[in-house]
Amino acid sequence: MSTYNISEIVQQLRQVRDQWREQQNRTDQSHREFPSRDAIAHAVDALKGALYPLRLGPPDLRHAGEDFYVGHTLDTALQALQTQALTELQYRQRGEGQPAHEIAAQAQQAVLTFARNLPSLRRLLDTDVLAAFQGDPAARSVDEVVLSYPGVLALIHHRIAHVFYQLQLPLLARIISELAHGQTGIDIHPGAQIDAGFFIDHGTGVVIGETTVIGRNVRLYQAVTLGAKRFPKDAQGHLQKGWARHPIVQDDVVIYAGATILGRVTIGQGAVIGGNVWVTDDVPAGAHVSQASLQQAHHVAHVQTATAHAVV
C-alpha cells in the first residue's frame, strides 16, 4: 500500500480531466489530440543542424559529410513535423467530417511547402547573422554570432515558425516560437512580419506582437516591447482577435533598451527611439525620440492648450 494513496489521487485526477473534456466538448479520445512539444523541439533542433551543419550540427561532422548529414537529418525532421502538422489539423477539424485522407494530404502539402522554403529561409537568416556581426562591436566572428547569440537563436526559431504560421498551422508555429522564448527570454509571435537584416542585441525581455511589421535592417535592444495599446471586445465581452494592433517599424530603425511602442503606429524610416520611452503616436522618418524630447513636446502641448484657453 502506497503511503500517498496514489490510486485515490489517480481517480480524482481522472474525474477532473473528464469534467474538463466534457466542458470543452472533447469526447473523442481515439487518438492523440495535440502536437507534442518534445517531438517539435527535437525536429527544430534537427532543422537548425541542417541549416547550419558545421556550427549547429553534431560535433564530429566534417565538411565532406555535410550533404549526407543534411539529407538524413532533413528527412527525419520533416517526417516528424508532418506527423505533428497532421495532429494539429485533426485537432482543429475534429467533428467537421473531413475525410482522413484529405487531412493527411493537407499536412503533407504544408510540410512540403515548408521544405521548399528552406533555402530561402537560410539566405534570410544569413542577413540576420551579418546584421548581428556588423552591429555589435563585441562580435569577433559570424561563427560566434550563430553559436552563442540569443537574438540569432530566437530569429532562427521565428523564421521557421513564421512559415508554418503562414501555412495555417498556428499551434505548431506557436510552440516553435515558445521554445526559443523559454531559452532566450525573447518573445516573438510567429505572426510577426520581419524583413531581412534584423538584429536583437542582448535580447532578454523583448516582446514582438502578432501583427507587428518590421522592415529591413532594424535593430532592437533588450526589454523593447512592440505591443498592443488596447484590446477591444465584442458584444459578448470577448476579446476581438485577428485585427492589426501592433506597430509598423520601417527600414533602418534603431530602438534602444526598455522602449515601449504600443498600438498600430508607424515608426518612420531611419528613426531612432531612445531608451525607456513610451510611444503611442506615429514617429516621422529620421526623427530621434528620447525622454527629453517627449517631455519637451508635452510641455509645448500644455502651453498651447493654456494659451488657447486664455484666448477664448
Task: CATH number of the domain at 58, please.
Answer: 1.10.3130.10
- Distance, in Å, from the CA atom of 252 to the CA atom of 261, rounded to the nearest integer, reads 16
CB 155 within 8 A of CB 125: yes
297 and 282 co-located in one domain? yes
Q: Are 82 and 111 in contact (CB under 8 A)?
A: yes
Please tell me whether residues 53 and 168 are part of one structural domain: yes
In a domain, 16, yes or no: no
Q: Which three cell numbers stand for residue 103?
A: 487531412
Closest alpha carbon to 219 in 172, 176, 155: 155
Q: Are residues 59 and 154 in the same domain?
A: yes
Counting the structural domains of the chain, the total is 2
Q: Torsion angle of alpha carbons 266, 294, 227, 205, nearest 10°?
A: 130
Considering the domain boundaries, does residue 140 fall inside one? yes
pLDDT of residue 236: 77
Could you tell me if 54 and 145 lie in one domain? yes
Q: Is residue 8 situated within a structural domain?
A: no
| Average pLDDT score over residue span 54-59 | 95
- Kindly state whether residues 167 and 296 are assigned to the same domain: no
Region 157-163: mean pLDDT is: 98
- Specify whether 36 is located in the same domain as 176: yes
CA distances from 1 to 5, 8, 12 (A): 8, 12, 18
The model's pLDDT over 62-98, given as tens digits with 9 standing for 90+, comes to 999 999 999 999 999 999 999 999 999 998 887 677 8
Scanning the structure block, which residue is given the C-alpha cell 521548399?
A: 116
Q: Which of 219, 287, 228, 207 is nearest to 251 (CA)?
A: 219
Q: For 56, how many CA atoms within 13 A lie in the half-sphere containing its CB? A: 20
On whether residue 273 sits in a domain, the answer given is yes
Q: Does one domain contain both 65 and 158?
A: yes
- On whether residue 105 sits in a domain, the answer given is yes
- Inter-residue contact 267 to 251 (CB < 8 Å): no
Mean pLDDT value across residues 250-266:
98
Out of 185, 202, 220, a domain closes at: 185
Instruction: For the chain, give the mean pLDDT.
Output: 91
Distances (CA, A) of 219 to 16, 17, 203, 216, 275: 47, 46, 11, 9, 13
Report the first-to-last Cα separation within the chain, whole angstroms.
87
Question: In this structure, what CATH number is given to the domain that contains residue 291?
Answer: 2.160.10.10
Average pLDDT of the residues in 143-157: 97
66 lies in a domain?
A: yes
Does 308 score more than 80 pLDDT?
A: no
Joined together, the cell numbers standing for residue 258 give 526598455
Instruction: Give residue-wise pLDDT tens across range 216-240.
Output: 999 999 999 999 997 778 777 777 7
Q: Are residues 213 and 283 part of one domain?
A: yes
DSSP-derived letter for residue 240 is P
Distance CA 111, CA 163 (A): 10
Residues in the chain: 312
Tell me how crowded residue 139 is: count the other CB atoms within 10 A of its CB.
17
Structural domain for 129, as ranges: 32-185
Residues 48 and 161 in one domain: yes
Asked if residue 166 and residue 204 are part of one domain, the reply reads no
**pLDDT tops 70 at residue 305:** no
Instruction: Identify whether residues 223 and 138 lie together within a single domain.
Output: no
pLDDT of 189 > 60? The answer is yes
Percent of the chain's residues with pLDDT above 90: 79
Cα–Cα distance list, 12 to 30, 57, 145 (Å): 22, 45, 50
49 and 135 housed in the same domain: yes
